[in-house]
Structure 1
């Protein structure tokens, strides 16, 4: 229970950084005299920072331990988030968001690495499902609180709120979270394996594993669907359909509810189905809904069905993280868990960072949002199906 609560709090920093300022994107554009594409670069800068930061944080946590790297990253997160709140222009905000992403990456990497230190296989997938049930609290409450702050103060207050949550996580980890890496608590690695070579050689060996690489690519493409939604939906719904920031923030509440439901359902499905099978079903359904949503966005359908479609896409998105991370990290030695988690997360945010501005470059039109999500979901499904065939032939997850 303590692991769920502490890791859940730490994991909130990622969704808060991504989602909390979503309702404020149009306001930031006005205040800083920037266009939609420039404002969406603040999201791209964050996810690129997350991608690069994953690689550094993963290797460092394997070498020096999870706890000291996490504490350093949390302290840096508080500082860089404060920089975002004080940014005088769009260029400074983009740079500050890049640094914020580098710092936040440590929280996301070490959450997965610490989970792998404690669990493996289907047990790991179930633990991550329970963790995924806690995670949506942040993307639900964040935009709601952000909308209130936006009305009472300005978008800068949102970053002050996020910095305060980061400070709380720093205090909790410092007081209550021990080292979990076997190599740094005096325990031998599982299975009597000896530590592998550090740094680049470990990365190369992991990426040569086609099963692991398939999971990295599938997770990256599937996660990009959600990141594109975060980047494009505020402009489509607020400017195209006239939703207020407060009304838009309610979408995140609905998303949180369905993500909790997906996490709970996933834990039950894993009693009967392999994780890979669950991922295949969720990607297929996500693609179908994204296709229907694209048609709806192209034919001036009222906002109600559009909102339902977006929430359903998020629901099926909720099955990806616990299962793909568990599949990818299955059999990875614990002393390499940090690097493996880093590669999974780096791919996720690198592809998402490149995909996020696409909707803005296409004119922030409703149909562009749907078409981009369709393309990403289809690519994720194709890659996953290929990987599934190899895994089933080998009798693995």
Structure 2
């Protein structure tokens, strides 16, 4: 069985966060109400994340049933059509529908790389590989919001979305020519019984919920961050995009920590990451009383580092527990993660509260829910030592 190269996995895995964060950079452009109503502007992120969440359920079943390669190619083909439609859209309903369809297609680019890593890695090697994959994720939030804003300033918002469409098309052609099949012979076909068994697994359930709540603030910050920074400290759209992108390099720092400490149990990393997420939420809450740029930078960076620690450790824990159904295991944690993030961003954007206090409230609530899930939910039974 030939494993995909690091470059192949990186190119595919970068697509979902990259195309989502292109919309983050467009938030200041659409939030003025001239092109979309304010509530629908937030849906550019929310609908895409919802598509990523729901699509992973389908992608996980397909990856275990038909294989990793055909599942990826089908998803990238759908995403190519959807991103092109979004670039050419001349009405709000078509633009929003294209975002949902793009998310559904690119869900395969989340499930398949993780399943492939589980196919060829285990134990410390798996946690290290997941950390490297997570570092790839960190690049997209760092570079795409300012890139999207700059493309819009120089040309139009269609140029930013067109960049995403071009990258997805290139990835489809490259994957068609070189992405290998890695599904092992012992993979069990997906079924409702398999999903039910996964849900009953105490360790999987606890990790999935704690991770989903720890990751949800990312979507809230993506949707409300530019407007909150503008109202709190007077940042321009370009400055807000640069700050949000720059602080999210902390995600790479967190993942790098896990990569260098792959021998440490994943549960320890998750606990550390949730603590950092909570600390970041507290600092962001402090900006309500002291709206200082330094507090924003520190709070966002601490959150990003915590997210970067929790991300690879959580996926490693879940995939390690379900070795013969890596597709649905990757889909389970990814689906809950994305749906929770999409709903958090959508609700936060729709409630009649100013962006700054709404961001603080949503980030604090989800960070607290993550801590409760991790420390209060039942843990898997441990066999007694002999």
TM-score normalised by L of structure 1: 0.90
* CA distance in 2: counterparts of 1:23 and 1:242, whole angstroms: 17
Corresponding position: 1:283 with 2:285: no
Partner SS, residue 318 of structure 1? helix
> Residue 318 of structure 1 corresponds to which residue in structure 2?
308
Q: 1:333 to 1:2 in 2, by over 3 A?
A: closer
Partner SS, residue 381 of structure 1? helix
Q: Note if contact 2:249-2:304 (Cα within 8 Å) is conserved in structure 1.
A: no
> Residue 145 of structure 1 corresponds to which residue in structure 2?
147
Post-superposition Cα deviations, 1:164-184, rounded to whole Å, max 9, x if no partner, equal: 11112112222222100013x
> Residue 81 of structure 2 corresponds to which residue in structure 1?
79
* CA distance in 2: counterparts of 1:393 and 1:331, whole angstroms: 13
* CA distance in 2: counterparts of 1:263 and 1:395, whole angstroms: 32
- How many residues end up aligned between the 2 structures? 382
> Residue 375 of structure 1 corresponds to which residue in structure 2?
365
Partner SS, residue 5 of structure 2? helix
> Residue 384 of structure 1 corresponds to which residue in structure 2?
374
> Residue 5 of structure 2 corresponds to which residue in structure 1?
3
In the TM superposition, residue 82 of structure 1 has moved relative to its aligned partner by 1.1
Q: 1:63 to 1:395 in 2, by over 3 A?
A: farther
In the TM superposition, residue 256 of structure 1 has moved relative to its aligned partner by 4.5
* CA distance in 2: counterparts of 1:42 and 1:158, whole angstroms: 13
* CA distance in 2: counterparts of 1:138 and 1:124, whole angstroms: 22
Q: Note if contact 1:132-1:263 (Cα within 8 Å) is conserved in structure 2.
A: yes
* CA distance in 2: counterparts of 1:38 and 1:31, whole angstroms: 9
> Residue 342 of structure 1 corresponds to which residue in structure 2?
331
> Residue 238 of structure 1 corresponds to which residue in structure 2?
230
* CA distance in 2: counterparts of 1:251 and 1:318, whole angstroms: 17
In the TM superposition, residue 141 of structure 1 has moved relative to its aligned partner by 2.1
* CA distance in 2: counterparts of 1:392 and 1:292, whole angstroms: 36
Mark the runs of 5 or more structure 2 residues left unpaired by the alignment: none
Post-superposition Cα deviations, 1:25-45, rounded to whole Å, max 9, x if no partner, equal: 131234754333221122111
Post-superposition Cα deviations, 1:35-75, rounded to whole Å, max 9, x if no partner, equal: 33221122111111111110111101111110011011112
Give the root-mean-square deviation of aligned CA atoms: 2.1
Quick check: 201-210 or 24-33, which moved more? Answer: 24-33
Q: Note if contact 2:83-2:98 (Cα within 8 Å) is conserved in structure 1.
A: yes
Post-superposition Cα deviations, 1:277-313, rounded to whole Å, max 9, x if no partner, equal: 11111111221221232122x2142233213311221
> Residue 23 of structure 1 corresponds to which residue in structure 2?
25
Quick check: 14-23 or 275-284, which moved more? Answer: 14-23
* CA distance in 2: counterparts of 1:218 and 1:55, whole angstroms: 19
Partner SS, residue 307 of structure 1? helix
Q: 1:162 to 1:33 in 2, by over 3 A?
A: closer
